[in-house]
C-alpha cells in the first residue's frame, strides 16, 4: 500500500501477499489475526476516490483474516479473528453532524466484521477521547469482546482535552475488555503512561508501541526528525517522516519493553507501525512463550567466524577480529 494514504488496497489487489503476511505474524507467535481494515473506512475511501470498493475491501480483508485464523500451524490453537475500526479523521468536537457520520461508519464496519465471523473487535489509534468512547459503544452492541486503544499525539493529552489516564478509565467504565495504547509513540514515550494506566485500571491493559526511538523531546513519530535531509521541522512546514529507518528499535529494545510491560501486568502486547514478524517473536519469547518461529531465532554457534562449532577452522575464528 502507499505510504501517505495508507489505504489497505492489498486485500483486493494482492490478497496472497496479505495472507502470507498474516501467516508470518502467526508463525511468529501472534494469537490474533486482525483484519486489515485500518483506514478502509468510508471517509478514507472517499479521499482516494474509491468509495464503491468500501464493502468489497472490508469483506475481503475479513475473509483473509478468518482463513488464516482458523488454519494455524500444527499444534497451535486456532487464533482469534479480529474486526477493526479506527480513527476516522473527521471526528470534530461539538459537531453532531460529523459525529453521526463517524458512528454510521463504525456501525457499518462492525456489522461486516460480525457477519464475516469476527471473534473479537479492536478499535484503535483514537486521539479524540470522545471518538474512542463512541467506537467502544458501537462495538459493545455486538456482544463480542472489545479491545480499545488510544493514540495521544505530541501534546500528551487527548485532542479534546481529556488526560490519557482519564480516557482509559472511562473506556473501562464503558465496558472495554482490554484498554490501552497503540501507535504514534515508541517504547520510551509510551511506557510512562502505561504505568499510570495499569495502576488506574482493573481490566486487561494493552500496549502496542511503534517501532521507533521516540524521546521526551519528540514523543511521537510525527515530530521525530528523520534522516531525509528534509525533516519534519523544515522551514517549509512539517510533513510525515518517511526516512526513520535508522531510528528503528532493534529486537532487543522491543523485547525489553515487552518484558517490562508484562512485568507491570500489561498482558496484551504487540507492535504498531514498524512491526515485523521478528519483533513479534521477540515479544512472545520475552514473556516466556515458545512459538513456531523460535526455531529460527539467532544462533551464532554455527557462524563461519564467530561460531563455537568444532568444525569452524582456527584461522577463520582468528580473522573475526579484523572482519
Ligand atoms: Zn501504528
| Rounded distance from Cα 151 to ligand 1 centre (Å) | 9
pLDDT at site 192: 98
Task: Using the predicted structure, report yes or no on whether residue 218 has a pLDDT greater than 60.
Answer: yes
Task: Using the predicted structure, report yes or no on whether residue 42 has a pLDDT greater than 60.
Answer: yes
Mean pLDDT of the chain: 95
| Rounded distance from Cα 322 to ligand 1 centre (Å) | 41
Q: How far apart are CA 109 and CA 204, in angstroms?
A: 24
| Rounded distance from Cα 315 to ligand 1 centre (Å) | 47
| Rounded distance from Cα 102 to ligand 1 centre (Å) | 20
The tens digit of pLDDT for each residue in 157-166 reads 999 999 999 9
| Rounded distance from Cα 183 to ligand 1 centre (Å) | 4
| Rounded distance from Cα 275 to ligand 1 centre (Å) | 9
| Rounded distance from Cα 5 to ligand 1 centre (Å) | 13
Element holding 118 (H helix, E strand): none
| Rounded distance from Cα 304 to ligand 1 centre (Å) | 38
Long-range Cβ contacts of 300-309 (<8 Å, 24+ apart): none
| Rounded distance from Cα 11 to ligand 1 centre (Å) | 18
pLDDT at site 142: 98
Cβ neighbors of 153 (< 8 A, separation 6 or more) are 127, 159, 184, 220, 222
The neighbour count for residue 72, using CB atoms within 10 Å, is 17
Task: Using the predicted structure, report yes or no on whether residue 278 has a pLDDT greater than 90.
Answer: yes
| Rounded distance from Cα 281 to ligand 1 centre (Å) | 18
| Rounded distance from Cα 306 to ligand 1 centre (Å) | 37
| Rounded distance from Cα 124 to ligand 1 centre (Å) | 9
Confidence of residue 235 (pLDDT cuts 50, 70, 90): low
pLDDT at site 229: 52
Cβ neighbors of 95 (< 8 A, separation 6 or more) are none
Q: How far apart are CA 138 and CA 132, in angstroms?
A: 10
Task: Using the predicted structure, report yes or no on whether residue 242 has a pLDDT greater than 90.
Answer: no
pLDDT at site 233: 52
**Which three cell numbers, joined as nine digits, stand for 124?**
484503535
| Rounded distance from Cα 149 to ligand 1 centre (Å) | 11
The neighbour count for residue 32, using CB atoms within 10 Å, is 18
The neighbour count for residue 104, using CB atoms within 10 Å, is 12
Which residue in the block uniquely carries the three cell numbers 519469547? Answer: 285
| Rounded distance from Cα 210 to ligand 1 centre (Å) | 6
| Rounded distance from Cα 214 to ligand 1 centre (Å) | 13
| Rounded distance from Cα 2 to ligand 1 centre (Å) | 15
Q: Give the mean pLDDT of 206-234.
A: 83
Task: Using the predicted structure, report yes or no on whether residue 311 has a pLDDT greater than 70.
Answer: yes
CA distances from 235 to 122, 228, 232, 239, 269 (A): 38, 14, 9, 11, 38
| Rounded distance from Cα 153 to ligand 1 centre (Å) | 12
| Rounded distance from Cα 170 to ligand 1 centre (Å) | 23
The tens digit of pLDDT for each residue in 244-273 reads 999 999 999 999 999 999 999 999 999 999
pLDDT at site 228: 66
Q: Looking at the DSSP assignment, which residues form a beta bridge with residue 86?
A: 124
| Rounded distance from Cα 272 to ligand 1 centre (Å) | 4
The tens digit of pLDDT for each residue in 117-159 reads 999 999 999 999 999 999 999 999 999 999 999 999 999 999 9
Q: How far apart are CA 315 and CA 305, in angstroms?
A: 9
| Rounded distance from Cα 14 to ligand 1 centre (Å) | 21
Confidence of residue 223 (pLDDT cuts 50, 70, 90): confident
Task: Using the predicted structure, report yes or no on whether residue 99 has a pLDDT greater than 90.
Answer: yes
| Rounded distance from Cα 207 to ligand 1 centre (Å) | 12
| Rounded distance from Cα 33 to ligand 1 centre (Å) | 16
Amino acid at each position: 500500500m502507499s505510504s501517505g494514504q495508507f489505504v489497505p488496497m492489498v486485500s483486493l489487489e494482492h490478497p496472497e501477499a496479505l495472507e502470507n503476511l498474516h501467516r508470518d505474524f502467526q508463525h511468529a507467535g501472534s494469537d490474533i489475526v486482525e483484519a486489515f481494515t485500518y483506514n478502509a473506512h468510508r471517509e478514507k475511501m472517499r479521499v482516494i476516490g474509491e468509495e464503491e470498493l468500501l464493502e468489497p475491501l472490508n469483506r475481503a480483508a475479513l475473509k483473509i483474516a478468518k482463513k488464516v485464523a482458523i488454519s494455524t500451524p500444527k499444534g497451535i490453537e486456532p487464533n482469534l479473528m479480529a474486526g477493526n475500526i479506527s480513527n476516522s479523521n473527521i471526528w470534530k468536537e461539538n459537531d453532531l453532524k460529523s459525529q453521526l457520520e463517524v458512528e454510521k461508519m463504525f456501525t457499518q464496519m462492525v456489522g461486516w466484521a460480525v457477519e464475516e465471523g469476527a471473534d473479537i473487535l479492536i478499535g484503535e489509534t483514537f486521539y479524540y477521547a470522545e471518538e474512542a468512547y463512541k467506537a467502544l459503544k458501537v462495538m459493545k452492541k455486538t456482544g463480542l469482546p472489545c479491545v480499545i486503544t488510544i493514540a495521544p499525539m505530541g501534546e500528551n493529552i487527548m485532542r479534546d482535552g481529556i488526560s490519557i489516564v482519564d480516557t482509559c478509565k472511562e473506556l473501562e467504565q464503558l465496558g472495554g475488555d482490554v484498554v490501552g495504547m497503540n501507535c504514534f509513540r515508541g517504547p520510551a514515550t509510551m511506557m510512562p503512561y502505561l504505568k499510570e494506566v495499569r495502576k488506574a485500571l482493573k481490566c486487561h491493559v494493552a500496549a502496542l508501541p511503534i517501532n521507533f526511538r521516540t524521546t521526551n523531546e519528540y514523543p511521537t513519530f510525527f515530530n521525530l526528525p528523520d534522516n531525509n535531509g528534509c525533516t519534519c521541522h523544515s522551514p517549509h512546514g512539517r510533513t510525515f517522516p518517511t526516512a526513520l529507518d535508522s531510528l528503528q528499535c532493534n529486537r532487543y529494545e522491543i523485547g525489553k519493553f515487552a518484558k517490562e510491560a508484562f512485568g507491570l501486568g500489561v498482558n496484551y502486547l504487540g507492535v504498531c507501525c514498524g512491526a515485523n514478524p521478528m519483533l513479534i517473536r521477540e515479544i512472545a519469547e520475552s514473556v516466556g512463550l515458545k512459538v513456531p518461529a523460535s526455531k529460527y531465532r539467532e544462533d551464532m554457534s554455527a557462524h563461519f567466524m564467530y561460531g563455537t562449532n568444532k568444525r569452524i577452522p582456527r584461522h577463520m575464528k582468528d580473522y573475526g577480529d579484523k572482519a
